[in-house]
Chain A
Amino acid sequence: MARFLARRLIHAVFVVWGVVTVVFFILRLTGDPAAFLVDQTATREEIAHARHLLGLDRPLYAQYLDFITSVPRGDFGLSIQQRRPALPIVLEHLWPATAELALAAIVLATVLAIPLGVVAATHRNGALDHLSRLGSLFLQSMPSFWLGLMLILVFAVALGGLLPAFGSGSLRHLILPALTLAAAPLAQNVRLIRSGLLEVLQQDYVRTARAKGLAERGVVYRHALRNAAGPFLTVTGLSLGFMLSGTLVIETVFSWPGLGRLMVQAVPGRDFPVIQAAVVVFAVLFVAVNLIVDVVHGLVDPRARVA
């Protein structure tokens, strides 16, 4: 287990290093990062001055070393729009707004998926199974932000403001964006739990549990579901990536004051320190969650430790 942990940890650190390197080079795709790091109204002299101040007139490897050593210290430079360090701004938007939204969505996508997946599996090829298949297909085929717009149209416009269309601050504000963000992972989870259960329900220990007279509910929830959880856990970790992408559009739709909306709003203002910090934070979150999922999976199931 210790070796497994160490290997996974080294791998995660490597990936984060790669991420920071990619972020360093994104800004240099056009050749002149200075143009992105100063105010758009800056004169040529001001840009030249900034280039010198930011060390952009030094050789590329020196700049890279500089960047790769400042990032671990949390130094992404000053936000161009707010004129204060970029990372704290990013973290203020991540916590609590985006964390709240993402956690609510993960809980919804998991808690609703378990009974729906069980019903689909136990009524295999029945009407309920087909209905859940159709529902999943539809939810996975629509852009999440459009689902959000339609929910607003129904709950905020047609039903006369039953739920608020935008803003944050109360549980009622959280409902629509969390539902929207949860929709696609929910659809995926239901199908996963169903196929996982169907596989597990054919195993010998399930037959044994049935043979000893356990009620079907006990067989499904106590024995089968627990063993179908491994792949489900892994996919939940991966689907966080889609969810993080989802926050960009969904926070924009619902004017949710989180990291996704911050990043989107930083683009027209060309606030590159904020964009860079946001990209790194998004990627680190993703790597960290998948590391945790792997470790938990490894703790629960020794077979997972070899991978």
Chain B
Amino acid sequence: MNRSLIIGIGNTLRGDDGAGVYAAERISPDLPDTDVILTQELHPEFADRIRNYANVLFLDASLRTRRPVVTILDPDAETPRPSSHALSPEGLLSLCRSTYHTLPLRAVLIEIPAFDCDLGETMTEATERMVDLCVDLVPEILAGKGGEKVSSGPDRI
């Protein structure tokens, strides 16, 4: 169980909302022991998948930040509430632990700033730059660098 899983989240039909997917697609295939999956949303069955990985890295667009934010996710933080068919990364971790009594050794969320989520298949230039920046960070983060464990609120780089 030394593999890493990168989950790119987003809708590439909605401009910057697809940033997490675009970033995951740009991850180098040479990155060792790493799997990449793309999804529009996180669903409960992902709990069954992430439990088999040592590291899980979520890449997701965010409307609440203007800079990339790296957060080491803590399932002991405030219990999240699902607001729709989809789950948050924290919610997925919580579900994984409560369902299978296990967790990845380390779970990290990179929030990529999003500026325009209207219909469209391209990102804004600003989000494009942020995506490239985040992709460059991925190898370091998977190596255990970047971010720090927080119980609430994001950790800014």
A and B physically associate = no
Residues of B within 8 A of A (CB): none
Residues of A within 8 A of B (CB): none
